[in-house]
């Protein structure tokens, strides 16, 4: 997965390394009250909420310092700006805006890079004057933060997402030579191994009428339409309360691992005993793991009125598992070789949607339309105000909604938004994750 490169920049001793450590989640950069401690660029993976990033800590930019080392430190900072997807420009809110801040702001504006202006050390009201002065830098609205106390991080997250705009998080995410990984799961004796044998055109896996023949998750490779595909045949999963044998428990754990490493999961159900509680449990487990899901309705040669049976199954599945609305139901008879040609095209479509990236501008146009049609409910007399939405990752599609009073948003309204996302951006059959966040006001008095 491609992640944005974020440069933390500013003059010396404004708290850049403290912020770098905060976002990296560990004390990687040395922090000291003396200016000029950081000299080289330091890079580290970091995270803010569910937004992953590559952080770059830089030396303090100082035009007044002279010497070979100081020149190289300035060059390092300027190089970091040019290589970054977005810059976090940090000032000291307590000290206020200095001439050096202004000089550096001119350089950043000329670079044309997106920038978020951060007024650090703004805990309490000590930084009010510096925050007011920072508007004059021409870098947009300042965000008050305290890197040392972790204040303002939610507002920082939404500012970074807005600044990144349509950054392609999925770019470079997938190795073109890597096989498409498909886990085939289901209850015992549902026909999983028989299905894989029929798809690859050879008796690669042992099959038989007895339940429980497959014990390990077996990988089977083949080519489809010139592309590498890797099936993982798995042991049938019974209800947990019925699993007493140690070997069966180990097989179940192996199946769960196969799902975690899969991209698409085929859930095989027996048309004679369809959508039993265990089938629904397995489908829910796949969606919770964030995997794309297709249902293969096996042994269709055993039913008479095929169309009526499939129509009833579709209605029941969407009623019992609405979070998988639009997941394909594919009727097959592996023994007769019927319906097999529909499986891989459905898998390819699911895999495409699982990797989907929605443009930020389109998301927010859609959000305004959804709010206009059905505003969020008021809680305790105060209405929630959704502000901004962005997709932070794919595989599966994951969205962050910034909203006032986020914790009070009812699950029903989240379902309304998820359903709207699925319909508007044509994402059937893949799990959609919606994370609702709200920023804290740093000026609210603490108890």
Bind-site residues for GTP: 10-17, 57-61, 120-123, 186-193, 233-237
> What is the 3 state secondary structure string of 92-137?
ECCCCCCHHHHHHHHHHHHHCCCEEEEEECCCCCCCHHHHHHHHHH
Among residues 330, 364, 444, the alpha carbon closest in space to that of 158 is found at 364
Task: Report how far residue 160's alpha carbon sits from residue 406's, in angstroms, rounded to the nearest whole number.
Answer: 19
**How far, in Å, CA of 328 to CA of 33, rounded?**
60
**Both structure tokens of 266:** 């085929």
Contacts of 439 (CB under 8 A, 6+ apart): 152, 154, 155, 158, 402
Which residue carries 């005993």 as its tokens? 273
Write out the binding residues: 10-17, 57-61, 120-123, 186-193, 233-237
The C-alpha atoms of residue 187 and residue 233 are separated, in whole angstroms, by 12
The tokens of 355 are what? Answer: 């990797």
Q: How far from 225 is each of 139, 222, 263, 373, CA to CA, in Å?
A: 51, 10, 18, 44
């Amino acid at each position: 997965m491609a992640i944005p490169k974020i440069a933390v920049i500013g003059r010396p001793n404004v708290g850049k390394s403290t912020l770098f450590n905060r976002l990296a989640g560990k004390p990687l950069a040395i922090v000291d009250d003396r200016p000029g401690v950081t000299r080289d660029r330091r890079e580290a993976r970091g995270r803010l909420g569910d937004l992953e990033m590559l952080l770059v800590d830089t030396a303090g930019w100082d035009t007044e310092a002279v010497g070979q080392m100081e020149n190289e430190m300035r060059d390092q900072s300027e190089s970091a700006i040019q290589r970054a997807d977005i810059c976090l420009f940090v000032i000291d809110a307590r000290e206020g805006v200095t001439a050096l801040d202004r000089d550096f702001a001119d350089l950043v504006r000329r670079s044309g890079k997106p920038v978020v202006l951060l007024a650090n050390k703004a805990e309490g009201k000590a930084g009010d004057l510096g925050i007011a002065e920072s508007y004059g830098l021409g870098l947009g609205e300042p965000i008050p933060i305290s890197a040392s106390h972790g204040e303002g991080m939610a507002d920082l997250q939404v500012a970074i997402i807005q600044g990144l705009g349509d950054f392609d998080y999925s770019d470079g995410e997938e190795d073109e030579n890597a096989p498409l990984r498909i886990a085939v799961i289901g209850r015992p004796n549902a026909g999983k191994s028989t299905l894989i044998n029929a798809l690859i055109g050879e008796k690669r896996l042992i099959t038989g009428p007895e339940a429980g023949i497959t014990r390990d998750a077996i990988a089977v490779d083949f080519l489809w339409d010139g592309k590498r595909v890797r099936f993982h045949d798995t042991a049938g999963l019974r209800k947990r309360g019925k699993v007493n044998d140690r070997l069966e428990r180990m097989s179940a754990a192996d199946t769960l691992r196969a799902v975690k490493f899969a991209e698409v999961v085929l859930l095989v159900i027996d048309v004679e005993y369809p959508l039993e509680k265990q089938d629904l449990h397995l489908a829910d487990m796949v969606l919770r793991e964030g995997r794309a899901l297709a249902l293969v309705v096996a042994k269709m040669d055993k039913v008479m009125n095929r169309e009526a049976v499939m129509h009833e199954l579709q209605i029941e599945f969407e009623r019992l598992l609405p979070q998988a609305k639009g997941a394909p139901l594919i009727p097959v008879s592996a023994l007769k070789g019927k319906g097999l040609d529909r499986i891989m095209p459905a898998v390819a479509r699911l895999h495409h949607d699982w990797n989907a990236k929605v443009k930020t501008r389109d998301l927010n146009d859609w959000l305004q339309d959804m709010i206009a049609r059905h505003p969020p409910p008021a809680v305790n007399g105060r209405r929630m105000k959704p502000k901004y939405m962005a997709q932070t990752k794919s595989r599966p599609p994951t969205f962050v909604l910034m909203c006032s009073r986020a914790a009070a948003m009812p699950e029903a309204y989240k379902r309304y938004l998820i359903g709207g996302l699925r319909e508007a951006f044509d994402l059937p059959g893949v799990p959609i994750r919606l994370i609702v966040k709200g920023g804290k006001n740093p000026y609210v008095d603490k108890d």
